[in-house]
Amino acid sequence: MGMTSDNATTIYERFLRRSTVILVLLLLILFPLYGDPYYTHLMLLSFIWAVVASAWNLIMGYAGIFSFGTLAFFAVGAYSSSLVEVWGGISPWPGLLLGGSSAALAGFIIAFPCLRIKGLYIVLVTVAFHQVIPIFIKLGGTWTGADVGLMDMPHYSLFGYDFGTYKICYYYLALFLFIVLHYIIYRIIGSNMGLAFVALRDSESFAESLGVNRAKFNVVVFVISSFIIGMMGALYVHYLKVATPRILEIEIFAGAIIMVVLGGLGKFPGVIISAFMVTFLNEFLRTAGLIRPILLGAIIIAVIMLFPSGLSGLVDSAYRYAGRTLHSLRPGKM
Amino acid sequence: MQILVPLINVIISGLILGSLYAVMSMGLTLIYGIGRIFNFAHGAFILWGGYFTWFLCTKFHLNYGVSVVLGILILFPVGWVVDRLLLYPLRRKPNFEINAVIVTLGLAILLGNAGDVIFGTRFKTIDQLTEGLLRMGRFTITHHDIATLVITVAILLFLELFLRKTTLGTAMRAISQDPVGAKIVGINLDRLFAFTFALAAALGGISGVLIAPRFFITPAVGWETLFKAVIIVIFGGLGSVKGTLIGAFILGMLEAFISMYLGMFWVSPMWFILLIIVLFIKPRGLFGTWA
């Protein structure tokens, strides 16, 4: 066939990767059969956080814009959808899109000052943005529930099944969004737009000299990632039935940043895996009480110091090794 | 005169807040200006200035003045060790800027919560530097506030003289202007980065000692001071000593006026709005110098 051995290895590697994805998806669909509601709950939270982490990875890892406003967009999505539903009596399905859209609007607004600044300045401005959100929530008084939180948003319902009664529906809704949004993020990364993000990240002036419109792509990546994050925020508070300013706490931020760095900045599948790991770890550390944040801090330091390219580095080399092994075992070679 | 009294009171408290903020954010500015690191653990250093002093005072029953001085001095080696252990290895790898941000964020979470675990969660506070009130007709001002002002001026003078007149200070300025050139003329960059980090940590300790008597020493104080300092340094321009100083006093004065006429609550939203306006007009802050 004239195919070089290296190409053949890649084909085997790709085959292995695809079969893993299909196998994992099957397992995820069948997971509730296991029957333990606690683990189903943890899986559901992992789906939500995996999407958040991937959307964050899209802007920080691929586009190289150090936005630290992820949880702020999450909170904007969460609160705007619940506010409209609780006080406006709107059904939660448009609420989901509304949560995404208002977060996207916030992202659009934040993107503009960020166009004229770079690197660390973006970190600091988005951190400042994150800090203002709880103040506006407190300012809302009874409208936003202030410190206590906003409760009593309606449950989703589909074909007459109320998601509050049939909790399992939440699992499949989250799984559905997990798959669809990850597919969209995956396609964006592979598209021309994704190439533009990476080009601007790696060599901004060169990319611009080739005609890549930096301003346009920066605004676009802000809008896309905050839309996805905002939608997840809306789903999150509907599932937990309460929206409180606690979603902006430093511990949750620490968890989210571990997902991204442990997965590997700019590495797509690693971040998904680490989102599951961090969600489960965080839950098991609940008994550690005061020590938990200390452990989270220590994990952040350890990951950056010891595995700067994160899990993805390990996963990639595992696949390459397996692909090579499979290639050498192929029939007819013996 | 009747109208002027509250106005002058507000101006005085604005000056005091401004000087507090200037000391608080100067460490951040030094580290950024010289090492190009944004140190998220600065709030934790401020917090630990309070913790060390409190610990020496209440557990070792040391004299108050001795505890304050020791509490600040301990942070110097702490800063040195942090730079050697965490930032020195990262400087040799790609993506230093963002890795340094994330590592110091991890350190901030670790150090910020370690105090509660080590010393317990009960309320901790330390005495004011000096007790008492100064009365001048209708105006009163606490001795602690006067001490804050005096210490701020002393620190700023010390820094100015140190950076201009000593060999070490000149070397630090050389690095901030041109690291490669500084290396060529034989400046030991790594040692100076560690020294800067240590000095900044000690400056954080000083502001911790000034802030701690006003609040209880809790992890939240570390974060609040950090976020205030973040806004001040972006407002003034990252890495600019002059910008930090002017930013601190403008925002301190603004805070005094807002809390007098609108309520404490509006301080943070107003700061943020002002920050966004400044960034729209001058994206690098008032005196930002980054390339």
Q: Looking at residue B185, which CATH number applies to its domain?
A: 1.10.3470
Residue A2: its pLDDT value, please?
44
pTM for the whole thing?
Answer: 0.86
Considering only CB atoms, B227 lies closest to which of A66, A131, A298, namely A131
List B residues 7-46 in contact with A (Cβ-Cβ < 8 A).
32, 38
* Nearest Cα residue in chain B from A262: B102
Residue whose pair of structure tokens reads 């809390």 in the numeric block: B259
pLDDT of A298 above 50: yes
Interface of A with B (CB under 8 A): 66, 112-113, 116-121, 123-125, 127-129, 131-132, 135-136, 138-139, 250-251, 254, 257, 261, 265, 290-291, 293-294, 296-301, 304-305, 308
| CB spacing of B103 vs A293 below 8 angstroms | no
How far is the alpha carbon of A326 from chain B, nearest alpha carbon, in Å?
34
Instruction: Give me the phi and psi of B240, to 5 degrees please.
Output: -100, 115
Contacts of A116 in chain B (CB under 8 A): 279-280, 283
- The domain total for chain B is 1
Tens digit of each residue's pLDDT (9 = 90 or more) over A153-183: 777 777 767 776 667 788 888 999 999 999 9
Task: Tell me which residue in A125, A257, A298 faces B102 most closely, judged by beta carbons.
Answer: A257
| pLDDT score recorded for residue A107 | 93
What share of chain A has pLDDT > 70, as a percent?
94
Considering only the beta carbons, identify the residue of A66, A138, A297 that sits closest to B106: A297
Question: Exposed/middle/buried for B166, CB within 10 Å: 0-12, 13-18, 19+?
Answer: exposed
B81 in contact with A, Cβ within 8 Å: no
Q: Which residues contact A200 (CB under 8 A, 6 or more apart)?
A: A63, A64, A207, A208, A212, A214, A217, A218
For residue B249, being part of any structural domain is answered with: yes
In this prediction, does ipTM exceed 0.90? no
Type of residue at B24? M
Residue B206 in domain? yes
Res A4: pLDDT: 52
A interface test, pick of B84, B93, B105 with most A CB neighbours within 10 Å: B105
For helices B219-236 and B4-35, the axis angle rounded to 10 degrees is 80
Q: Which residues of A touch B284 (CB under 8 A)?
A: 117, 121
Compute the 3-state secondary structure of chain A and give helix, strand, coil in percent, each to the nearest 5: 80, 0, 20
Angstrom distance (rounded) from CA B151 to CA B164: 20
Can you spell out the DSSP letters for B27-88? HHHHHHHHH----TTHHHHHHHHHHHHHHHHHTS---HHHHHHHHHHHHHHHHHHHIIIIIH
> And the tokens for B165?
């007149």
Q: How far is residue B228 from each of residues A36, B10, B94, B252, measured CA to CA in Å?
A: 45, 19, 30, 10
Q: Is B95–A265 a contact, with Cβ atoms under 8 angstroms apart?
A: yes
**Contact in structure between B69 and B39 (CB atoms under 8 Å):** no
Within a domain: residue B277? yes
According to DSSP, the β-strands at B139-142 and B133-136 are antiparallel
Nearest by CB to B279, which of A113, A138, A261?
A: A113
- Domain boundaries, position B182: 4-281
pLDDT of residue A92: 79
Residue in A with minimal Cα distance to B108: A297
Cβ–Cβ < 8 Å for A278, A262: yes
With cut-offs at 50, 70 and 90, classify the pLDDT of residue A3.
very low
Beta carbons of A257 and B116 less than 8 Å apart: no
CB contacts of B227 in chain A (<8 Å) are: 127-128, 131
- B272 inside 8 A of chain A by CB: yes
Confidence at A50, pLDDT banded by 50, 70, 90: very high
Q: What is the token pair recorded at A194?
A: 């994704």
Q: Is residue B118 part of a domain?
A: yes
Please judge whether B38 and A120 are an interchain contact, meaning their C-beta atoms are less than 8 angstroms apart.
Answer: yes
Which of A33-37, A52-56, B121-125, B278-282 has the highest average model confidence (pLDDT)?
Answer: A52-56
Cα separations in angstroms, B105 against B42, B96, B198: 9, 14, 17
Is A128 within 8 Å of B99 when comparing Cβ atoms?
no
The reply to whether residue B234 touches residue A124, judged by beta carbons under 8 angstroms, is yes
pLDDT in tens, A64-88: 888 998 999 999 999 999 888 888 7
CB-CB neighbors (< 8 A) of A265 in chain B: 95, 98
Between chains, do A128 and B231 touch, taking CB under 8 Å as contact? yes
**Residue B291 belongs to a domain:** no
Region A8-34 average pLDDT: 82
Q: Are A217 and A198 in contact (CB under 8 A)?
A: no
- Is the pLDDT at A223 greater than 90, yes or no? yes
B217 is written with which tokens? Answer: 């020493």
Q: What is the mean pLDDT of residues B224-229?
A: 88
Q: Which residue of B has its CA nearest to A255?
A: B106
Residue whose C-alpha is closest to residue A113's, from A123, A104, A102: A123
CB contact under 8 A, B110 and A294: yes
| pLDDT value of position B291 | 41
Is the model's pLDDT at A106 over the cut of 50?
A: yes
Q: Which residue has the tokens 């800063």?
A: B79
Q: Are A271 and A53 in contact (CB under 8 A)?
A: yes
Residue with tokens 């000083």: B206
Residues 144..183 of B with a Cβ closer than 8 Å to A: which?
Answer: none
Among B83, B14, B263, B230, smallest CA distance to A128 is for B230
Contact B268 A131 (CB under 8 A): yes
Mean pLDDT computed over A130-145: 80
